[in-house]
Chains A and B, each alone.
Chain A
Amino acid sequence: MKLRRLLYLSGAFFLVLVKFTIDVIGKNVELEMGGVSLVRELVVIAAFGLLYFVVDAAASRRESPPVKKLGFILIVMVIVLLAGVILLLLGVAGFDSKNLSLVPLDYPTIFLGSLIALAFGIVAMIVFRLLRDLILISRRPAGRRNYYILTGLVLAAALSTIMLRPLDAAVIPGILFGLALVFAVVNSFRLPWIIYLTKREKVFSLVYGFFLFCGFIIIDVMLAGDSLVNRVLLYYSHPLREFVMLVAIFATLYAGMAFVSTLFHLPTAEAFDRKRSEVSSLHTLSKLVTQVFDFNELVDTVTSMTLQVVEASRCWLEIIHVSGDGAPGPLPDGALSYRVQVAGMKSITQEEIDLLVSPEGPGLREAVMKERKTIVVDDLGKDSRFPELRKHAGLAGSMVVVPLISHAGLSGILYAAKKDTYGFVKDDVDVIAAFADQATVAIENSRLIRESIERERLYREMLVAQEMQKKLLPQFLPDVPSLEIDAISTPAFEVGGDYYDFMDFGDGRLGIVVGDVSGKGVSAAFYMSEMKGIFQALGRLFVSPKELLARANEALASSIDKHSFVSLLYAIIDVRSGTLTIARAGHCPLLHVSGEQAAYVRPGGLGMGLSRGAKFDGTIEEETILLKPDDVCILYTDGVTEARKGDDEFGYERLMATARAARMNSASAIKTAILETVKTFTEHRANDDDLTIVVLKWRGPAARGERTH
């Protein structure tokens, strides 16, 4: 790029030299021939064409604010003015007019004249280019159109004089000139940038405008009439002079308009500034909607912006929760109990907030919550609605309280206070209300996102716990000779606290444990997994169920928390002899069905985890029952007996009846029968409690204890 510009510059420079040469030669030699004259003009035009590209490139690169552009125009204008003045002062010989032509009288005239002409020309281009930027700021199509027409006319007006002699005039150029002037006027109304000036900038605009206007008036005068400057230009290039003239007039008009406009904008400047700042604040605030991942940041932004935009001295934001279950969320209409949390505050302390909105006191919060509308207190010291506030007039002169209401209900309250009474004008109230709306949406979204993340996390946690638990329950039923087994465990919620497990001693004895951890969910599952560990570790060491429970209790009691306990039933069946030895720690009794008879076997014992050592050991009884062939033993948890239908529980009688009725079938069929009966009883409602059933059916003494495969 730079190279290109350099190229253009060099080209222009060369052309200028050429022109210069021609001029010098032409001083002495009559070069009236049309061809040479034309060449002369063309050279100038070409040179300026190249120069324009350079100027354009330079101007495009620099993005400066309008006032700076004005300032720049002022600078170049001053330079050119000075140049003109110097020229006049230097007292060059000047020109003679002859046949509407200008004849330079000496070489300095030519030389200096060329320089001046160049200066004016370049400046005119710069000014024109900068004015273009200012005009086209608004990018409106009508504006562009007008501008291009102006440009076109200016160029046309200038070029139409190409064949004219310096002092000559003609109709068409004249008309074009006039038209160009008209459009210059039109374009000088294009001052869209004035509105956006800050106060400070407006002052500059005023000053620059003034001086520009004056300066360009002088230039206009300089370029009119018989002044030397005019002649220099005309001599150098008639089109150039036309161009410069038009630009100067245009600049004058524009500067004048700028001055006047700025002047008339001054009174509304302040209000406008504020409006603008409000708009930009709202714009920032609307971006809040995306700032939902960090709630604290969000609240901070809302309170800071409120302070800033309405120029409040204090501001704070309260979030309202529906209390009771403590779930955060907007307060639906009519909800009476709630919890307030001050989420963010600026320039105020909690004590001061309490003074201003404490429930016994002013009741600002209650009023807003009840009416669900913005409340403005213009004078804290004198408001009749809130007499209690008078005491605290020292803290604030006036306040605005806005409820944050979404479709779901009232989610918060935004407060702003100013030192002065009547400090909040209508605009301020509107702005705060607008903020409140934005903030409501953002806060609501933030809450929803947090909830959603929480739910997501809980859900994933639940999945993990479920997986874990599935692995803890036996994957296969033991294969023991002469014994039919089936089992099922369905958790109430995603994760349950029921537990069953087997320990095959390999010699005909099988240990079966069924347990129930109090509580539900993940913590219950955790204790359940601990039980499994204990059972697996100790099961082989302690052959007596009572002994095992005692040792297991020791292991569990140290880790279980005070509010949980585990009930267990541990039975060891010896399929060779048909004995079933049971110990029971606070669990449902084992159901033994033998032919027509059925009975609950209830050796005594405390639940696990409640006490340690001898106290527990002492309570555990062990009982052995002798099984007959085809006897059925059922171990289960209270999810079965406590399954509900309305006020009624499934109970022990029903369980016994079901088992007795089904006793001739296989263990699987018996299990299914019990399950189905319970489900039918509860009318297929989901179980409130985890449900576990283990069915054993002993077929008679096994010949050998070891597994056959």
Chain B
Amino acid sequence: MKTETIQIESRTERLIAVREFVSDAARAFGFPDEDVSKIALAVDEACTNVIKHAYRFDPTKTIHVIIRTDNGSFQIAIRDTGTQFNPSQLHPPDMKEYLSHYRRGGLGVYLMKSLMDKVEYDIAPGRMNEVRLTKFLSR
């Protein structure tokens, strides 16, 4: 098992650093380019959510991104200590309904679920929230 960690301040400016960090790791792990892109996007979405909802754009807050790889599974954990609880994180919108009503937001979650093999949440507002995204290397 290997682990890599990055932590960023809660600023959208830093999203590209996270995307690059994750892309490099995913590529090194052996994912084809399109999977690498998917993973990077999913992580982007997760982090964006944290910045927007959990931290409300507070730049003094920290987000931890931890990649764990083991035996063909590539897992990214995104952790924050935000106090806000975003229900839409748990229930992604129905796309049809969403599209028909032109709703904003909530897309990120839907994307994550579509892009990754597994999405898990651990919510403890004020203590630590975590979303874990997993993709398996198909061989």
Partner-B contacts on A (CB < 8 A): 574, 576-579, 581, 603, 621-624, 626, 628-630, 700-701, 703
Contact = CB atoms under 8 A, between A and B. Distances in A.
Contact of B79 (A578, A621, A622): A578
Contacts of B86: none
B1 A576 contact: no
25 contacts: A574-B5, A576-B62, A576-B64, A577-B5, A577-B7, A578-B64, A579-B3, A579-B5, A579-B66, A581-B3, A621-B1, A622-B3, A624-B1, A624-B2, A624-B3, A626-B68, A626-B77, A626-B130, A626-B132, A628-B124, A628-B130, A629-B124, A700-B127, A700-B128, A701-B81
B128 A629 contact: yes
Contacts of A622: 1-3
Given A576-B7, A624-B68, A629-B128, 5 more contacts: A577-B79, A603-B1, A628-B122, A701-B79, A701-B128
A579 B62 CA distance: 15
Nearest to B75: A626
A621 B2 CA distance: 9
A700 B81 contact: yes
Contacts of B66: 577, 579, 624, 626
Interface centre among B80, B128, B130 (most CB of A within 10 A): B128
A570 to B, nearest CB: 14
B124 A701 contact: no
Nearest to B60: A703
Interface centre among A578, A621, A624, A703 (most CB of B within 10 A): A624
Contacts of A603: 1
**Which 7 residue pairs are nearest across A and B when measured between Cβ atoms?**
A577-B64, A624-B3, A629-B127, A700-B127, A623-B1, A629-B128, A700-B128
Contacts of B80: 701
Nearest to A625: B68
B84 to A, nearest CB: 16
B39 to A, nearest CB: 18
Nearest to A629: B127
Contact of A701 (B3, B62, B70, B132): B62
Contacts of A700: 81, 127-128
A276 to B, nearest CB: 93
Interface string B63-81: 0101010100000010111
Contacts of A577: 5, 7, 64, 66, 79
Nearest to A572: B3
A578 B128 contact: yes
Contacts of B62: 576, 701, 703
A80 B105 CA distance: 151
Contacts of A578: 64, 79, 128
A577 B68 CA distance: 13
Interface in B109-131: 122, 124, 127-128, 130
Interface string B1-22: 1110101000000000000000
A624 B66 CA distance: 10
A627 to B, nearest CB: 9
Contacts of B2: 622, 624
A624 B64 CA distance: 15
B77 to A, nearest CB: 5
Contacts of A579: 3, 5, 66
Interface string B43-76: 0000000000000000000101010101000000
A577 B4 CA distance: 11
Nearest to A508: B7
A603 B2 CA distance: 12
Contacts of A630: 127
Contacts of A703: 62
Contacts of B132: 626
Contacts of A576: 7, 62, 64
A628 B128 contact: yes
